[in-house]
């Protein structure tokens, strides 16, 4: 895995130890012991992940220096994912760092597996949130499917109900979770994301529930768990379907009792979090008892939100293409270009198996490698579409015959929607499904025609 990691710690020995561990896995790992040198380093390039110590001046343990640096990092145009580090397991300080934009925190000394897992999760979160951090904080799209999704989020968010978000890889499940949290009564609190599939079963309880100093060999200090760190906010349990059954039982107990017991503690601690979970598992598999506990499922899925794949809302593709192409043109300082007409229609018809994430990556590639006056299909690096560049291949959409269509104006239904649907279907049939010709004849743009195709189910 290739990534640029920065370790910002005043203890050179600690920074070097982390650098030696991470370099084998990520490649480019830099260290910085003097915070005053950070602006010059950022001017040369922003890291993907920063491991940030919260205290630099000897004797100070309030974290103020680290929080100030965190503000600097989060103010970058393309901010890095930040993992806060401290030798003091101070829950309020950890929560403050999370509120200020850190994605995770670890206490020193750390276990090697824990540090690697934290960096892996930080990279995954940054990848998932690149669109949002570059100026798209909301779910994008005006299709019927997206309007319904946004309406459901608006209805669910103000409640305290646990929410399970279902959808394929790349559809934006974490963006849904963030939208729910932002519109909830807990918005002033922390939304803490945890990749449940990346948590080793051996450290599951310590990570989620915390531990006390001396409770096991590597427990050299008290450590707050994720439930404690997210107190008053929301806990986003991503990839919940990848949890082992034994770990599921422990999570169920915590949710039923609304309390957790840190490893080595004498008494439980009450928890105050809202649970938002997500998985890309097929919904039917969640009801397989060999995969997921039914009693835990019913604790988590009070409300189920299904995020549609991009192929089910094709009319949103032009909007997404325009957004991400502009974003990367700005980022890479490339001239603004339009997508060729035939190429746009081909991209709309593409199935985008990686969903919005795949589209975003394709846009980045097109901006970097495209050489023409307009973007062509080939610029987006989609091999299955490489030959589909002629209008005959790129402009065609299969539509039902008028005889197979629902009631229309010709059968006595004279509502405006019915008349519009009949006109669109007839025009498409006239041009054998050619989108460009049909849109021109109807006097609307191709994007508008795609929206209407989705609206009428054509």
CA distances from residue 391 to 311, 319, 395 in whole angstroms, order as listed = 21, 21, 5
Comparing 304 with 396, the larger pLDDT belongs to 304
Q: Are 260 and 269 in contact, with CB atoms under 8 Å apart?
A: yes
Comparing 320 with 63, the larger pLDDT belongs to 320
Q: Are 177 and 162 in contact, with CB atoms under 8 Å apart?
A: no
pTM as predicted: 0.64
The pLDDT score that the predictor gives to residue 82 is: 93
Comparing 97 with 251, the larger pLDDT belongs to 251
- Domains with residue ranges and CATH for the chain: 1-115 (3.40.50.2300), 138-308 (3.40.50.300), 311-393 (1.10.8.60), 402-456 (1.10.10)
The pLDDT score that the predictor gives to residue 38 is: 92
Residue 123 C-beta-side C-alpha neighbours within 13 Å:
17
Q: Is the pLDDT of residue 286 over 50?
A: yes
Q: Distance between CA atoms of 235 and 275, rounded to whole angstroms? A: 5
pLDDT in tens, 372-427: 999 999 999 986 554 444 344 444 444 444 444 444 444 455 577 777 888 888 88
**Could you write out the DSSP letters of every residue in 288-337?**
-TTTS-HHHHHHH-SEEEEPPPGGG-GGGHHHHHHHHHHHHHHHTT----
Q: Is the pLDDT of residue 130 over 60?
A: no
Average pLDDT of the residues in 232-261: 94
Q: Are 33 and 20 in contact, with CB atoms under 8 Å apart?
A: no
The pLDDT score that the predictor gives to residue 97 is: 82
Least confident of 55-69, 139-153, 171-185, 310-324: 55-69
The pLDDT score that the predictor gives to residue 219 is: 80
Query: Band of the pLDDT at 99, cuts 50, 70, 90?
Result: confident
Q: Distance between CA atoms of 452 and 78, rounded to whole angstroms? A: 36
The pLDDT score that the predictor gives to residue 424 is: 86
Q: Which of 448, 451, 356 is CA-nearest to residue 140?
A: 356
- Does 109 sit behind a cis peptide bond, omega within 30 degrees of 0 on the bond before it? yes
The pLDDT score that the predictor gives to residue 127 is: 67
Mean pLDDT over the full length of the chain: 84
Q: Is the pLDDT of residue 339 over 90?
A: yes
Residue 125 C-beta-side C-alpha neighbours within 13 Å:
28
Query: Band of the pLDDT at 90, cuts 50, 70, 90?
Result: low
Average pLDDT of the residues in 224-241: 92
The pLDDT score that the predictor gives to residue 134 is: 38
Q: Is the pLDDT of residue 122 over 90?
A: no
The pLDDT score that the predictor gives to residue 406 is: 44
The pLDDT score that the predictor gives to residue 129 is: 56
The 3-state DSSP class for residue 458 equals coil
The 3-state DSSP class for residue 210 equals coil
Q: Are 381 and 350 in contact, with CB atoms under 8 Å apart?
A: no
Query: Band of the pLDDT at 341, cuts 50, 70, 90?
Result: confident
| Percent of the chain topping pLDDT 90 | 46
């Amino acid at each position: 895995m290739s990534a640029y990691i920065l370790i910002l710690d005043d203890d050179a020995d600690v920074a070097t130890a982390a650098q030696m561990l991470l370099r084998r896995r990520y490649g480019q790992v830099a260290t910085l012991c003097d915070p005053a040198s950070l602006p010059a380093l950022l001017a040369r390039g922003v890291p993907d992940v920063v491991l940030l110590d919260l205290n630099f001046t000897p004797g100070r343990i309030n974290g103020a220096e680290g929080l100030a640096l965190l503000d600097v990092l989060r103010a970058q145009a393309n901010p890095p994912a930040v993992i806060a580090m401290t030798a003091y397991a101070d829950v309020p300080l950890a929560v403050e760092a999370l509120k200020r934009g850190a994605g995770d925190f670890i206490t020193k000394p750390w276990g090697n597996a824990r540090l690697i897992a934290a960096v892996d999760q930080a990279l995954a979160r940054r990848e998932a949130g690149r669109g949002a951090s570059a100026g798209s904080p909301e779910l994008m799209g005006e299709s019927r499917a997206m309007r319904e999704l946004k309406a459901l989020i608006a209805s669910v968010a103000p409640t305290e109900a646990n929410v399970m978000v279902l959808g394929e890889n790349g559809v934006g499940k974490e963006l849904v979770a963030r939208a729910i949290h932002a519109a909830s009564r807990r918005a002033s609190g922390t939304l803490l994301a945890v990749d449940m599939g990346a948590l080793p079963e051996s450290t599951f309880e310590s990570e989620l529930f915390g531990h006390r100093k001396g409770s096991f060999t590597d427990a050299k200090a008290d450590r707050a768990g994720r439930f404690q760190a997210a107190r008053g906010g929301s806990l986003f349990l991503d990839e919940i379907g990848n949890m082992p059954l034994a770990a599921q039982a422990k999570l169920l107990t915590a949710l039923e009792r609304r309390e957790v017991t840190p490893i080595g503690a004498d008494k439980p601690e009450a928890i105050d979090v809202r649970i938002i979970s997500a998985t890309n598992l097929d919904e039917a598999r969640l009801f397989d008892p060999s995969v997921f506990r039914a009693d835990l499922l019913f604790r988590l899925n009070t409300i189920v939100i299904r995020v549609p794949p991009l192929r089910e809302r094709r009319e949103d593709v032009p909007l997404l293409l325009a957004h991400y192409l502009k974003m990367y043109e700005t980022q890479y300082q490339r001239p603004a270009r339009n997508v060729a007409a035939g190429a746009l229609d081909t991209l709309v018809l593409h199935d985008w198996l990686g969903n919005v994430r795949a589209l975003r990556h394709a846009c980045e590639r097109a901006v970097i490698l495209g050489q023409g006056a307009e973007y062509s299909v080939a610029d987006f690096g989609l091999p299955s579409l490489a030959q589909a560049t002629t209008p005959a291949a790129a402009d065609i959409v299969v539509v039902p015959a008028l005889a197979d269509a629902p009631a229309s104006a010709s059968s006595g239904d004279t509502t405006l929607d019915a008349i519009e649907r009949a006109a669109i279907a007839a025009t498409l049939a006239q041009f054998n499904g050619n989108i460009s010709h049909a849109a021109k004849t109807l006097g609307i743009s191709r994007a508008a025609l795609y929206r209407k195709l989705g609206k009428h189910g054509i």
